[in-house]
Amino acid sequence: MTNVMAPGRVPIAILISGRGTNMAALVRAAASGTLNADIRLVLSNKADAAGLEFADAAGIRTLVLSHRDFATREDYDRALVAHLREAGVQYVALAGFMRILTHEFLGPFAGRVINIHPAILPSFPGTHAQKQALDYGVKVSGCTVHFVDEGTDTGIIIAQQTVPVLDGDDEDSLSARILAQENELYPQALNDVLCGRISVVGRRTIRKS
């Protein structure tokens, strides 16, 4: 795939570690024209990430950059930045990228890294958010799209969608219903950012009309 930017579209990279279900939703949205993105690169820290096959089949350049090949998180993040700059990327979408990013990455892309989390933040940050929600006994869970900062799921919230927790839910059933909402919310929220419809005021985001 060439690195010529599609007319009017914002060059982005998507980072994954596994199935890449949300990555696939973003790829489909870009292909349909509902996401104003030129997806330059899908990068994974794991060679066996299933999402790489989907991206490759869609004609998107893929790259494996194993964190195990670097002595420190900072070294790895500097290498990430170098590859993204080479691809001409302006924004980065995390889609199940299971790495904590350091300032070496977040500094160069300040305010331009977006993530989706399977909970209504600030509740249940970190891993196994769906299990956390079930263990706590909440009646409503959901997903959150947010800017990424150096904390764990502490960045400014862009958009949220709720999902009811049903009697008899287990981690798998709740995760599946949340994921369906993630696949819808992420392209919409990311598109608002890329189109300049989101402004940040303090800790709040405001959607412009």
User: Which are the catalytic amino acids?
Assistant: 117
**Residue owning tokens 């964190």:** 67
**CA distance readout (Å), 21 to 2, 9, 182:** 24, 22, 9
Q: CA-to-CA distance for 12 and 72, rounded, in angstroms?
A: 25
Kindly tell me the sign of the dihedral angle through the C-alpha atoms of 44, 90, 199, 33: negative
Kindly tell me the sign of the dihedral angle through the C-alpha atoms of 192, 111, 47, 170: negative
Q: CA-to-CA distance for 41 and 89, rounded, in angstroms?
A: 8
